[in-house]
Amino acid sequence: MSTSSPPADPVGAVRRLHRSREDRILGGVCAGLARYFNIDPTIARIGAAALLLLGGVGIIAYLAAWLLVPEEGSDEPLLRTGIAVEHGRTRVIAGGALLVVALLVIAGRLIPDVSDDLIAPSILALAGILLLVGPRFGGDGAPVAPPVPPGGGTATAPPSAPATPPSSPPPPAPEDEGEAGAGDEHQGDEDRDEHPAGHDDGPGTTVVPATSTAVTRAVPIVPARTGPEAPASPTIPFPAGFTTPAYGGGGSEPPTGRRDAVPPPPRPPRKPRSPVGLVTLGALLVAGAIMAGVVAVNPDGIPWDTTLAIFTIAMGAILAVAGLFGRARLAVATAFSVTAVIAVLVGSNLHLTGGVGDRAYRPVGTEAVQPRYELGVGQLRIDLRDATLSKTVPTRIHAELGVGRLLVIVPDDVRLTVHADARAGNVELDTQYSGGTDVERSLTVGPVKGPRVVLDADVGLGSIEVRRGDPPWPTRDGDTSDDGASARPLTTGGHHA
Amino acid sequence: MPKLDLTTLVAGVALIAVGTLLLLDTQDVISMGITGAVSSLLTAVGAVVVASGIARTRRRASGDLPPA
Quote the CA–CA distance of B34 and A348 in Å, as a whole number.
5
ipTM, 2 decimals? 0.93
In this prediction, residue A111 carries a pLDDT of 54
- Closest of A87, A68, A89, A84 to residue A18, by C-alpha: A68
Quote the CA–CA distance of A151 and A197 in Å, as a whole number.
11
Query: In whole angstroms, what separates CA A469 from the centre of its chain?
Result: 51
- Closest Cα of chain B to A318: distance in Å? 7
Contacts of B23 in chain A (CB under 8 A): 306, 309-310, 313
Phi and psi based region of residue A119 (left: phi greater than 0; alpha: psi -120 to 50; beta: remaining): alpha
Q: Using only the alpha carbons of chain A, give its radius of gyration.
A: 35
Interface check for B55 against chain A (CB to CB < 8 A): the answer is no
Digit-coded pLDDT (tens) for A275-302: 888 888 888 888 888 888 887 777 777 8
- Across the interface, whether the CB atoms of B7 and A423 are under 8 A apart is answered no
Query: In whole angstroms, what separates CA A382 from the centre of its chain?
Result: 41
Q: Which residues contact B16 (CB under 8 A, 6 or more apart)?
A: A313, A316, A317, A320
Paired sense of beta strands A372-383 and A359-361, if any = parallel
Taking only the tens of pLDDT, chain B with its 68 residues reads 568 889 999 999 999 999 999 999 888 888 888 888 888 888 898 888 888 888 888 888 887 766 66
Task: Annotate B8-63 with DSSP letters as a single string.
Answer: HHHHHHHHHHHHHHHHHHHTTSS--HHHHHHHHHHHHHHHHHHHHHHHHHHHHHTT
Fill in the amino acid letter for A113. D
Digit-coded pLDDT (tens) for A309-338: 999 999 999 999 999 988 888 889 889 989
**Is the Cβ–Cβ distance between A445 and A467 less than 8 Å?**
no
Digit-coded pLDDT (tens) for A134-156: 544 444 444 444 444 444 444 34
- Closest of A395, A423, A68, A13 to residue B32, by C-alpha: A423
Q: List A459's β-bridge partners, or say none.
A: A401, A422
- Closest of A399, A379, A385 to residue A455, by C-alpha: A399
Query: In whole angstroms, what separates CA A297 from the centre of its chain?
Result: 25
Averaged pLDDT score across all residues of chain A? 66
**Cα-based angle B16, B53, B38 (whole degrees, multiple of 5):** 40
| Selected residue with higher pLDDT from A340 and A471 | A340
In this prediction, residue A179 carries a pLDDT of 33
DSSP label at A231?
-
Three-state DSSP at A158 gives coil
Point out the least confidently predicted range of A123-137, A328-342, A437-451, B6-20. A123-137
Q: Pick the residue from chain A with its C-alpha nearest to B10.
A: A320
Interface check for B41 against chain A (CB to CB < 8 A): the answer is yes
Interface check for A309 against chain B (CB to CB < 8 A): the answer is yes
Between helices B6-26 and B33-61, what is the axis angle to 10°? 170
Interface check for B17 against chain A (CB to CB < 8 A): the answer is yes
- Across the interface, whether the CB atoms of A322 and B37 are under 8 A apart is answered no
Three-state DSSP at A490 gives coil
- Across the interface, whether the CB atoms of A312 and B22 are under 8 A apart is answered yes
Stated pTM of the model: 0.46
**Is the Cβ–Cβ distance between A18 and A32 less than 8 Å?**
yes
Torsions phi, psi for A462 (to 5 deg): 145, -150
Q: Which residues contact A221 (CB under 8 A, 6 or more apart)?
A: A157, A161, A163, A164, A204, A205, A206, A244, A247, A248
Quote the CA–CA distance of A155 and A198 in Å, as a whole number.
6
Point out the least confidently predicted range of A50-64, A128-142, A230-244, A461-475. A230-244
In this prediction, residue A456 carries a pLDDT of 92
**Is the Cβ–Cβ distance between A19 and A71 less than 8 Å?**
yes
Quote the CA–CA distance of A10 and A30 in Å, as a whole number.
27
What is the dihedral angle through the alpha carbons of A29, A34, A37, A38, rounded to the nearest 10 degrees? -150
Measure the N-to-C terminal CA separation of chain A; round to a whole number of Å. 84
Interface check for A279 against chain B (CB to CB < 8 A): the answer is no
- Give the total residue count for chain A: 497
In this prediction, residue A15 carries a pLDDT of 76
- Across the interface, whether the CB atoms of B19 and A312 are under 8 A apart is answered yes
Torsions phi, psi for A260 (to 5 deg): -90, -10
**Cα-based angle A25, A27, A33 (whole degrees, multiple of 5):** 90
